Amino acid sequence: MHAPAHRCLTVWLAATAAAATLVGWLLPVALAPAARFDDVLVRLCAAGGCAAAGWLYVVTTAAVAEAATGATTPGVPAPLRRLVLLACGAAVVAGLAVPAQATPGEVHRDRRPSVAGLPFPDRAVSPRPAAEVVVVHPGDTLWALAAADLGPDAAAAEIDARWREIYAQNRDVIGPDPDLIQPAQRLRLPAQQ
């Protein structure tokens, strides 16, 4: 019994593409120089993968030729022959079952990279709330909290003024010594002017 030529061609093209992709990926690894024993093992596994891909490609080609002509080919294992013939049938079913895909639309090459998953023009920006709360972690200082609040471009004089504002706002939580803040304290950051 002959399988339709378009099914056989579809399976053979898919096998060719898969084998070429696998060998193209593994062959540079197999041919790379190896300095250590584990590198040698990786190279040997890559070479074995290339050989297996080649063997599977040859056997798939023979099984597809057998399906197209109806003649049996010696040397093709029966389970692999059944698998290739099943793939011939699945190729048609998959082609009918997959819905049409929409194109993604125009790609803008001149846009800046996205931030947190959103491109810059679409990113929602809102002013900082009047009293943002930070939780003190081990190793934090008022200076470090002020520097983080102001950003990396802040001058030392700005940071010095900012940590004093933070201390003044939270003196009841911190206590009389601004150098002694405790982990888990919740400090309110005053609004920036």
pLDDT of 110-154, one tens digit each? Answer: 444 444 555 555 555 555 555 688 999 998 999 999 998 888 888
Exposed, middle or buried, 88 (CB in 10 Å: 0-12/13-18/19+)?
buried
Residue 186 bridge partners (DSSP):
135
User: What fold characterizes domain 130-189?
Assistant: Membrane-bound Lytic Murein Transglycosylase D; Chain A (3.10.350)
How many C-beta atoms surround the C-beta of residue 131 within 10 A?
10
Residue 87 CB neighbour total at 10 angstroms: 21
- Average pLDDT across the chain, whole number: 77
**Position 187 pLDDT exceeds 60:** yes
66 contact partners, CB below 8 Å, separation of at least 6: 72, 73, 76, 81
The pLDDT value given to residue 5: 76
The CATH 3.10.350.10 portion of the chain extends over: 130-189
Identify the pLDDT of residue 114: 45
Q: Is the pTM of this model over 0.75?
A: no
List the structure tokens of 88: 């011939």
